[in-house]
Amino acid sequence: MINLNNIAALCAENAKKRGKVGYDVSHLLSWWGIRNELSEFDRASETEPSEHIPEYTEAQEELADILITCLTELHRRNVDVEAIITKKLEFNQNRK
């Protein structure tokens, strides 16, 4: 079974190695990172293959990047990723 907390830790580790994030959590920098990925998704093609992983479209790859960025930011805030997603899904199920 997939453990989202382990995946989030790996995402954060890779982001630090690549210089995408520092050691301090900054709401503004987190927003900028997510916004940047959303902008890349906005420009991505739904039909053209991704340059990096050609079995997926550009849009699919960018959606994965958005998810990776969000997982990174949750991990950096010491959040139990699986728990918060479960709780948010439960909340949304009961929402009117």
- Read off the tokens for 72: 């990174």
Domain count, the chain: 1
In a domain, 29, yes or no: yes
What pLDDT is attached to residue 1? 67
User: How many helices (DSSP H) and strands (DSSP E) are in the chain?
Assistant: 4, 0
- Supply the pTM of this predicted model: 0.91
Note whether 57 and 45 are within 8 A (CB). yes
In a domain, 30, yes or no: yes
In a domain, 17, yes or no: no
In a domain, 27, yes or no: yes
For the stretch 37-76, pLDDT in tens is: 999 999 999 999 999 999 999 999 999 999 999 999 999 9
Question: Residue 49 forms beta bridges with which residues?
Answer: 57
Domain that holds residue 50: 23-93
In a domain, 11, yes or no: no
Q: Which helix (H) or strand (E) holds 52?
A: none
In a domain, 5, yes or no: no
What pLDDT is attached to residue 24? 87
Report the distance separating Cα 64 and Cα 83, nearest Å: 20
In a domain, 89, yes or no: yes
In a domain, 63, yes or no: yes
